Structure 1
Amino acid sequence: MRPWQSFFRRALLSASIGLAALLGGSAAADDTHVLIVAHPSLAVSNLSTEDLTRIYLLRQSLWPDGAMVVPVNREASSPVRSLFTTAVLQQTANALANHWQQMHFKGKNPPLVQESDQAVLAFVQKVPGAVGYVSADTPVGDGVKVLGKLP
């Protein structure tokens, strides 16, 4: 990673945490982590950052059992999406949007968007093959499979 990328990544993470605090959230330790969640029937027990990168950059569209991968994203203004984009995908929001636009022209749709952690959990619980992420301090319950905590 180039020095300016590392600086940008730290600055964006700090800004995301600061924005969450301004909006009434706390800057607790779990605000710097995301939980990776999936439909409970998924035959995978964990995903690496490389796996998530392939999924969210639309390079992997099938699970090992042949089921369709259905990635779910938070909305663009979400601090947890900013964290996921920079820390896990190692992309800027603009670079990621440009990538998805190029993939759209190749016939691939970008990940679906949900407006809250609870909406991501509800979607993932109901849609086979779905995978998403939520803030690590979000209670997930029994209806989804937790595949990891990142970064």
Structure 2
Amino acid sequence: MVARWLVFMALSLSCLVSWADEPNDVVLIAHPNVRVETLSRDTARAIFAMRQRTWPNGQSASVFVLPEDHPVHARFSKSLLNVYPHQLRLAWDRVVFSGTGQAPNVVMSQPDMIKHVASTPGGLGYIERGYLDDSVNVIPIVN
């Protein structure tokens, strides 16, 4: 009985590990010159809400996002930042209308996201893992 349970657990964990690297997983990407190994969820949320304008190491951050109605934008907001897309929109509107900042740069597709992040020093964005190439770095989000 214990042996069956261990086999079941091993198979379950292997499924979870393979599921975690699905091509449809959304990942945070950065320009290759960004020297940050990980980002906390709070820091990522602050940068994408346009409340923090620099990386933790002080380098200026240029934020790129997909349109609000893009399904990858919704998945990114909910799964990586733990906020709803409309909450990000409210944060952007607040900094724009108060005159304390600007909204992030909107790109229309994931290939455009890669192109803009890869060509902008300090660039930050997100894509599905299946779109990754060597022109950008993945920055894991930690709790």
Same fold (TM over 0.5): yes
- Which residue of structure 1 lines up, in the alignment, with residue 9 of structure 2? none
CA deviation after TM superposition for structure 1 residue 51, in Å? 1.9
Shift of 1:96: 2.3
Distance 2:38 2:81 in 1: 17
Residue 142 in structure 1 maps to residue 142 in structure 2: no
Q: Which of 118, 131, 140 lines up with 2:124 in the alignment? A: 131
Partner SS, residue 137 of structure 1: helix
What is the CA distance between 1:49 and its match in structure 2?
Answer: 1.9
Aligned partner of 2:49 among 57, 63, 81: 57
Larger of the two Rg values belongs to structure: 2
Assess, with a 3 A threshold, how the Cα gap between structure 1 residues 144 and 99 changes in structure 2: closer, same or farther.
Answer: same
Matches within 5 A, 1:68-79: 68-79=60-71
Output aligned runs, 1:75-86, within 5 Å. 75-86=67-78
Number of aligned pairs?
122
Q: Which AA in structure 2 matches 1:72?
A: F
Q: Gaps (5+ residues) in structure 2? A: 1-20
* CA–CA separation in structure 2 for the residues paired with 1:99 and 1:126: 26
Judge conservation of contact 1:136–1:149 (CA < 8 Å) in 2: no
TM superposition shift of 1:92: 2.5
**1:19 matched to which residue of 2?**
none
Query: Comparing 106-115 with 62-71, which one deviates more in the overlay?
Result: 62-71
Assess if the C-alpha contact under 8 Å between 1:37 and 1:133 holds in 2.
yes
**Aligned counterparts of 1:136 and 1:88: Cα–Cα separation in 2:** 13
TM-score by length of 1: 0.71
Other-structure match for 1:101: 93
Report percent identity of matched pairs: 26
Tell me the CA shift for residue 86 of structure 1. 1.7
Partner Cα separation in structure 1 for residue 115 and residue 27 of structure 2: 15
Query: Cα distance 1:56–1:143, how it changes in 2: closer, same or farther (>3 A)?
Result: same
For residue 29 of structure 1, report the CA deviation from its aligned partner: 4.3
Q: Write out the 4+ residue segments of structure 1 that deviate beyond 3 Å after TM superposition.
A: none
Deviations 1:90-112, CA, capped at 9 Å, x for gaps = 32232321221111123311111
Q: Are the equivalent residues in 2 in contact too, given 1:74–1:115 (CA < 8 A)? A: yes
TM-score between the two structures when normalised by the length of structure 2 = 0.75
One-letter code of the match for 2:90? N
What are the Cα deviations for residues 42-99 of structure 1, in whole angstroms up to 9, with x where unaligned? 1112223222111111221112443211111011221110011122233223232122
Pick one of 110, 113, 138 that aligns with 2:106: 113
Cα deviation for residue 149 of structure 1 reads: 7.0
